[in-house]
């Protein structure tokens, strides 16, 4: 078992290495002068030369790469021109906001998707099946940023139910102190139930926007897997043996679909890491997506590089976790390798 | 008490979808080809006196903050969005297929290297990589096309690689090789034809995604530059007017965008139903 | 058939509504199984044997339509799928063992738990008592090292072991009838013999009736007391094993026996059965063997032969 986990861990390493190499290529070997990018649009030729020397851009590609890796190892992702801070500290400060949003959206999409998919499988051609199909199709075609704006328009401007899309917490509430950075947790830890409610209200629309796309693939996988399992021979054995219906459904049919569903959840998470950028912009969310967008508009290049690196690393790590979870949940993996 | 769960018949739902797909597809192509010529108003001509007018008989979709007719701009935008998507998907398809065929045919270290490259591309959340590439290459159609193409590569490469690998040792391939036929011909003439149906399905599904990608990049300011009409930019422009109630500025471009993506999704589904029925 | 029979089928038909010729897949079959009796149901693939088994076990696919004059188990009328009392029956009084044992077991659940689930359901045991009963069940099917094997997953076990687990599941409720649907397909010869011997021993010791469904005549001959022969959904002959094998009365039975390798001295002597298996999508003669029968009479196409009521039952107008 541990050997299997180790093997999975090792297989993630090439991806991480690849990610580092690609970000290096993206940022250093571009057309034009990378130093000019990093020095910023207002730099003088002197400061550009200074930056070039600082970043080691006047040396060979290989040496540059070594320096790059060294810097990474020390957590040096360069400095942001707009904030003046090291990119790493900017990212760390903003990461919890993005993670909270993404994880909530992921949980929402997974629960809804599995619910819809299983419901659809139990009654093919029924109402749930139809809803499942509609939601899937809608989620696939709807541009995330458009959905966000639409929701804001309908629920904030027209209906007045949702709060203004101005970030994580309305100014009328007191911001919780950063214990975990996840305000859902922090407000509860401080016992500030009003603020907790405020955080939840701000989260609803962004979570729906980000999560809607994810419901489709998860529901489809859950539905297809469930149908396959319900028609399988071992479910037939369970029924023939006289097991009660609830047991056949939940203990015998549901468990084997967890692995394929989990894999789909991983893919959805990857999408969400990307769509994060759009959702944060629409809802004024102070996360790393917004950080990246602002940096793009300001031609501030180091944060963009840090952002890409971080997102990719996050994805590799999450995939690894999902792999590990899969091994724990599904013993079949042991035999297929 | 006793139930056997079966999938609902897929055949019934093909017709309305195919019809819808055909209709939307036709509209898109017409819009792209003839749009800029046929539109009632100049897509880039400003007229501040007509700023922010709600939809009316004159301006079907209303006007934006610079007095430009949104309907005309939305139709004109079809050209650039479709063009970007087509170029990107075509590039992905070609380069991806080449890489995949190379890896599948040669095997060994070539395969290993290509697979690692593909894995690395797939290790990046798609939009994030697109942001990175587009940010690095600046605002232009080219950077959007390149970003979208790179990000979509692995899907094609993997499919082709698997198929070529599978058939590499097939009897008729061996026979062709012994007869002295070069590998390029073998792959192109004998193996690729089998791949065309699934690749076509994949391409049309990818078109929708490519359009979304291009629009998304433009939305955050990384893609096409204004005053070029493009659906993403138009939605971005309209975003600031939601809270003051001028809803038409962002809604119509967004709806057209959605329609385009849905259209390609339908085309993809229809193709899949026809070409690969066991996966329907 | 006697009124003390455990299972009684009379005129049982199973049809699928989509059939273009309106043919029933199982056509007015009649058979009975007495308590503790070991009966083999033999026939080629597609003869409807498994459908009858599934009908008895209550797992007939809902697309199938069942009608019968009589379909009873221990006095209970099973003609309607939602018959009261059937949910108690299923799994408890009637156990079924399938072919492809590894596919028929839940791949992500330990075998100890799977057997335990069924024992818990039928014998209302929990906790320690349940675990002990499960281990006992494993031992009864001769799985060595039961304590450790309890934790095994089906993927870790051989085909023969999986079949033993299936048997344990089928017997968990102490059933009066055990249905074994091609239980040895896919297993090697030694394992086949061992499994069947195990089934036989269990039936004897628990006084269980057994319906052994198989296309392998040798197996039927070795293990069954009585044999029922089916062809294309119709019961054609029935009788005590030795008598039936020594002197078959229905032309189909005779042809089957002649076609089996054991009966032939050499491969050259192997006689195939002429013609091909009837296509249920086309109109069929009343006796479905008529198209391939050397002893065919005119009335075979129009009149359905009935099973004659002697100690040897044959459905034929022109028996041997």
The bridge status of strand C76-77 relative to strand C70-73 is antiparallel
Beta-carbon contacts of A277 under 8 Å, excluding residues fewer than 6 positions away, are A289, A290, A292, A293, B127, B128, B131, B220
Higher pLDDT pick, C201 / B202: C201
What would the 3-class secondary structure string for A120-152 be?
A: HHHCCCCHHHHHHHHHHHHHHHCCHHHHHHHHH
* CATH of C5-88+218-314 given 3.90.1010.10, 1.20.1260.10, 3.40.50.300, 3.30.420.40: 3.40.50.300
pLDDT at C240 over 80: yes
pLDDT of residue C138: 93
More confident residue, B74 or B37: B74
Q: What is the pLDDT of residue B1?
A: 36
What's the rounded Cα separation, in Å, for the pair A50 and A56? 10
From A149's Cα to the closest Cα of chain C, the distance in A is: 44
**Helices (H), ranges, chain A:** 2-28, 34-39, 45-54, 61-73, 87-122, 127-141, 144-151, 183-189, 193-230, 233-240, 245-247, 258-283, 288-297, 301-329, 332-336
Cβ contact C63–B2 (<8 Å): no
What would the mean pLDDT of B56-79 be, rounded to a whole number?
A: 79
B204 near B17, Cβ under 8 Å?
A: no
Angle at C201 between CA C200 and CA C205, to 5 degrees: 120
C-beta separation of B245 from A157 below 8 A: yes
Q: Give the range with max mean pLDDT: C69-83, C85-99, C229-243, C279-293.
A: C229-243
C85 touches chain B (CB under 8 A): no
**Percent of chain C predicted with pLDDT > 70:** 92
Write down the H helix ranges in chain C. 49-57, 86-89, 111-123, 127-140, 146-149, 159-171, 189-206, 217-223, 241-246, 251-259, 299-302
Rounded to an integer, the average pLDDT of A208-236 is 91
B4: nearest CA in chain C? C61
Residue C41 has pLDDT above 90, yes or no: yes
Of residues B156, B206, B124, B152, the one with CA closest to residue A26: B124
Residue indicated by tokens 């005549």:
C217
The pLDDT of residue B150: 87
HEC profile of A254-295: CHHHHHHHHHHHHHHHHHHHHHHHHHHHHHCCCCHHHHHHHH
Q: Across all residues in chain C, what is the average pLDDT?
A: 86
Q: B185 CA to chain A: closest CA distance, Å? A: 33
Q: Per-domain residue ranges for chain C? A: 5-88+218-314
- B137 vs A: CB within 8 A: yes
Q: Name A59's bridge partners.
A: none
Structure token pair of residue A324? 């590990």
Q: Please tell me the predicted confidence (pLDDT) of residue C81.
A: 63
* Residues whose CB falls within 8 Å of the CB of residue B100, separated by 6 or more in sequence, listed in order: B114, B156, B157, B158, B159, B160, B161, B162, B164
User: Which of the four pLDDT bands, split at 50, 70 and 90, describes residue B2?
Assistant: very low
- Cβ-based neighbour number of residue A216 at 10 Å: 26
Q: Output the DSSP codes for C101-145.
A: TTTTS-TTS-HHHHHHHHHHHHH---HHHHHHHHHHHHHHTT-SS
Domain B34-39+59-279 part of CATH 3.40.50.2300: no
B223 or C59, greater pLDDT:
C59
- DSSP at A59: S
C62 in helix, strand or coil?
Answer: coil
Name the more confident of B52 and C299.
Answer: C299
Distance from first CA to last CA of chain C, Å, rounded? 23
For residue B38, what pLDDT is reported? 67
Nearest of A70, A84, A55 to residue A295 by alpha carbon:
A84
What percent of chain A lies above the pLDDT cut of 90?
18
Please determine, for residue A272, whether its predicted confidence score (pLDDT) is greater than 60.
yes
Instruction: Please compute Rg for chain C using Cα positions.
Output: 20
Beta bridge pairs of residue C97 = C180
**Average pLDDT value over all residues in chain A:** 83
What distance in Å separates the CA atoms of residue A317 and residue A99, rounded to the nearest whole number? 13
Helix (H, G, I), strand (E, B) or coil at C71: strand
Mean pLDDT in residue range A115-132: 90
Decide if A335 and C155 are in contact by the 8 Å CB cutoff: yes
- Average confidence (pLDDT) over A265-274: 89
Task: Indicate yes or no: CB of B4 within 8 angstroms of CB of A149.
Answer: no
How many other C-beta atoms are found inside a 10 Å radius of the C-beta of residue C266?
A: 7
B122-136, B181-195, C142-156: least confidently modelled range: B181-195
Instruction: Place A225 in a pLDDT band, splitting at 50, 70 and 90.
Output: very high
- Are B124 and A22 spatial neighbours (Cβ–Cβ below 8 Å)? yes
Mean pLDDT of chain B: 79
Neighbouring chains of C at 3+ CB pairs under 8 Å are A, B
pLDDT at B277: 55
* Most confident range, picked from A22-31, A203-212, B150-159: A203-212
pLDDT of residue B136: 78
Q: What is the mean pLDDT of residues A184-200?
A: 84
Chain B residues whose CB is inside 8 A of the C63 CB are: 4
* Rounded mean pLDDT, C280-306: 84
Instruction: Report the neighbours of B using a cutoff of 3 or more CB pairs below 8 angstroms.
Output: A, C
- pLDDT over 60 at A336, yes or no: no
End-to-end CA distance of chain A: 11
CB contacts of C61 in chain B (<8 Å) are 2, 4
Task: Kindly provide the ipTM of the predicted complex, given to two decimals.
Answer: 0.85
Cβ neighbours, 10 Å, residue B210: 29
> Which tens digit of pLDDT belongs to each residue from A53-93?
776 667 777 777 787 788 888 877 777 777 788 888 888 88
Task: Please tell me the predicted confidence (pLDDT) of residue B272.
Answer: 78
Residues 243-262 of A with CB under 8 A from C: 243-244, 247, 251-252, 255-256
Chain A environment of B133 (Cβ under 8 Å): 26
Q: Measured between beta carbons, which residues in chain B are less than 8 angstroms from residue C58?
A: 1-2
Containing B38, the helix (H) or strand (E) segment is helix B14-38
B212 and A316: CB-CB below 8 Å?
A: no
The lowest-confidence range among B224-233, C148-157, C203-212, C270-279 is C270-279
Contact A18, B119 (CB under 8 A): yes
Residues C169-175: what's their mean pLDDT?
91
Structure tokens given for A93: 């400060």
Token code pair at residue A207: 């979570």
Residues 6+ apart with CB under 8 A from B159: B100, B195, B198, B199, B202
**pLDDT higher than 80, residue B12:** no
Q: Are A277 and B212 a contacting pair at CB < 8 A?
A: no
How confident is residue C120, by pLDDT bands cut at 50, 70 and 90? Answer: very high
- Find the farthest-apart pair of alpha carbons in chain B and give their distance in angstroms, rounded: 76
pLDDT of residue A118: 92
Interface list for B 222-261 with A (CB within 8 A):
222, 232, 235-236, 238-239, 242-243, 245, 247, 250-251, 254, 257-258, 261
Residue B3: pLDDT band (50, 70, 90) is very low
pLDDT tens digits, one per residue of B16-54: 767 777 777 777 777 777 766 666 777 676 776 767 777
Q: What is the mean pLDDT of residues C83-92?
A: 74
Q: What is the mean pLDDT of residues C165-188?
A: 90
**How would residue B7 be classed by pLDDT, with cut points 50, 70 and 90?**
very low
The pLDDT value recorded for residue A33 is 66
Q: Which of 230-249 (A) contact B at CB < 8 A? A: 230-231, 239, 245
Share of chain B above pLDDT 70, in %: 88
Q: Has residue C112 got a pLDDT over 90?
A: yes
Given a cut of 80, whether residue C85 has pLDDT beyond it is no
Contacts of A126 (CB under 8 A, 6+ apart): A120
Give contacts of A334 with chain C, Cβ < 8 Å.
155
What per-residue confidence (pLDDT) applies to B5? Answer: 44
Cis bond upstream, residue A249 (ω within 30): no
Class of domain A94-291: mainly alpha
Asked whether residue A156 carries a pLDDT value surpassing 70, the answer given is yes
pLDDT digits (tens, 9 = 90+) for A87-121: 888 888 899 999 999 999 999 999 999 999 999 99
**3-class DSSP assignment, residue A118:** helix
pLDDT of residue C264: 53
- Tens-digit pLDDT profile for residues C131-140: 999 999 999 9
Most confident option among A48-57, A227-236, B12-21? A227-236
In the block, tokens 């599941």 appear at C169
pLDDT tens-place string over residues A277-332: 899 988 888 999 888 888 877 777 788 888 888 888 888 888 888 888 877 777 76
Domain ranges of chain B: 34-39+59-279
**pLDDT at res. C82:** 67
End-to-end Cα separation, chain B, in angstroms: 29
């Amino acid at each position: 078992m541990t050997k299997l986990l180790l093997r999975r861990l090792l297989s993630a390493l090439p991806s991480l290495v690849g990610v580092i190499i690609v970000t290096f290529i993206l940022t250093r070997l571009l057309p034009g002068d990378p130093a000019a990018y990093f020095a910023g649009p207002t730099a003088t030729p002197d400061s550009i030369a200074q930056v070039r020397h600082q970043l080691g851009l006047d040396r060979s590609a290989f040496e540059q790469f070594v320096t790059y890796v060294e810097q990474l190892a020390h957590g040096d992702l360069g400095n942001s021109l707009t904030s003046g801070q090291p990119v790493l500290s900017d990212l760390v400060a903003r990461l919890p906001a993005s993670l909270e949003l993404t994880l909530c959206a992921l949980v929402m999409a997974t629960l809804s998707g599995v619910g819809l998919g299983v419901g659809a499988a139990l009654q093919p051609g029924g109402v749930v099946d139809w809803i499942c199909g509609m939601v899937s199709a809608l989620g696939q075609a709807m541009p995330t940023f458009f959905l966000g704006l639409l929701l804001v328009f309908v629920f904030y401007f027209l209906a007045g139910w949702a709060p203004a899309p101005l970030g994580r917490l309305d100014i009328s509430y007191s911001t919780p102190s950063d214990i975990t950075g996840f305000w859902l947790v922090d407000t509860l830890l401080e016992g500030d139930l009003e603020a907790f409610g405020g955080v939840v209200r701000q989260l609803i629309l962004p979570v729906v926007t980000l999560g809607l796309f994810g419901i489709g693939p998860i529901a489809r996988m859950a539905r297809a897997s469930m149908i396959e399992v319900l028609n399988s021979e071992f479910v037939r054995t369970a029924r023939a043996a006289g097991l009660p219906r609830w047991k056949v459904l939940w203990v015998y049919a549901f468990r084997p679909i967890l692995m394929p569903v989990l894999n789909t959840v991983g893919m959805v998470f990857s999408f969400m890491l990307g769509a994060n950028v759009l959702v944060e912009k629409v809802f004024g969310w102070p996360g790393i997506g917004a950080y990246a967008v602002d940096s793009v508009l300001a031609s501030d290049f180091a944060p963009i590089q840090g952002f890409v690196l971080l997102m990719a690393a996050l994805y590799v790590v999450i995939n690894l976790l999902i792999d590990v979870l899969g091994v724990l949940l599904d013993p079949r993996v042991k035999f297929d390798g | 008490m006793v139930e056997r769960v079966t999938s609902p018949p897929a055949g019934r739902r093909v017709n309305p979808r195919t019809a819808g797909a055909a209709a939307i597809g036709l509209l898109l192509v017409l819009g792209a080809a003839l749009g800029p010529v046929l539109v009632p108003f100049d897509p880039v001509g400003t007229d501040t006196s007509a700023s922010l007018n709600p939809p009316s008989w004159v301006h079907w979709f209303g006007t934006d903050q610079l007095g430009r007719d949104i309907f005309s701009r939305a139709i004109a935008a079809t050209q650039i969005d479709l063009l970007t998507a087509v170029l990107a998907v075509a590039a992905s398809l070609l380069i991806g297929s080449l890489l995949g065929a190379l890896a599948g045919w040669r095997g060994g270290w070539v395969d290993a290297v290509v697979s690692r490259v593909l894995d690395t591309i797939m290790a990046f959340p798609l939009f994030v990589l697109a942001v990175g590439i587009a940010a690095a290459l600046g605002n232009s159609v080219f950077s959007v096309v390149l970003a979208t193409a790179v990000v979509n590569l692995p899907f094609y490469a993997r499919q082709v690689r698997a198929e070529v690998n599978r058939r590499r040792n097939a009897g008729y391939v061996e026979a062709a090789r012994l007869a002295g036929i070069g590998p390029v011909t073998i792959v192109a003439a004998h193996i690729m034809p089998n791949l065309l149906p699934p690749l076509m399905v994949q391409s049309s599904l990818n078109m929708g995604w490519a359009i979304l990608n291009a629009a998304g990049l433009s939305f955050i300011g990384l893609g096409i530059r204004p005053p070029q009409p493009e659906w993403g930019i138009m939605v971005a422009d309209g975003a600031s007017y939601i809270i003051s109630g001028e809803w038409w500025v962002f809604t119509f471009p967004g709806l057209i965008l959605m329609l385009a993506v849905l259209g390609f999704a339908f085309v993809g589904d229809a193709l899949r139903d026809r070409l690969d029925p066991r996966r329907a | 058939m006697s009124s003390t029979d455990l299972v009684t089928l009379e005129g049982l038909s199973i049809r699928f509504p989509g059939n273009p010729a309106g043919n029933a897949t199982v056509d007015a079959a009649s058979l009975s199984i007495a308590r503790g009796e070991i009966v083999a149901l033999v026939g080629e693939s597609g003869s409807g044997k498994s459908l009858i088994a599934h009908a008895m076990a209550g797992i007939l696919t809902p697309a199938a339509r069942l009608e019968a004059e009589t379909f009873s188990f221990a006095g209970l009328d099973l003609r309607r799928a939602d018959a009261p009392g059937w949910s108690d029956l299923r799994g408890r009084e009637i156990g079924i063992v399938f072919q492809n044992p590894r596919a028929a077991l839940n791949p992500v659940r330990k075998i100890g738990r799977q057997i335990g689930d069924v024992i818990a359901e039928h014998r209302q045991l929990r906790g320690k008592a349940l675990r002990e009963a499960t281990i006992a069940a494993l031992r009864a099917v001769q799985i060595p090292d039961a304590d450790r094997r309890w934790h095994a997953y089906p993927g870790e076990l051989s085909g023969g072991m999986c079949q033993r687990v299936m048997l344990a599941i089928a017997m968990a409720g102490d059933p009066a009838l055990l249905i074994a649907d091609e239980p040895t397909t896919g297993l090697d010869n030694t394992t086949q013999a061992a499994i069947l011997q195990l089934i036989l021993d269990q039936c004897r010791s628990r006084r269980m009736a057994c319906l052994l469904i198989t296309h392998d005549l040798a197996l039927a001959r070795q293990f069954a007391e009585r044999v029922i022969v089916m062809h294309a959904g119709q019961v054609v002959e029935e009788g005590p094993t030795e008598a039936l094998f020594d002197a078959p009365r229905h032309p189909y039975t005779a042809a089957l026996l002649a076609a089996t390798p054991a009966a032939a001295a050499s491969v050259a002597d192997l006689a195939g059965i002429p013609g091909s298996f009837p296509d249920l999508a086309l109109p069929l003669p009343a006796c479905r063997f008529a198209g391939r029968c050397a002893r065919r009479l005119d009335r075979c196409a129009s009149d359905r032969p009935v099973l004659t009521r002697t100690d040897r039952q044959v459905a034929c107008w022109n028996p041997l």
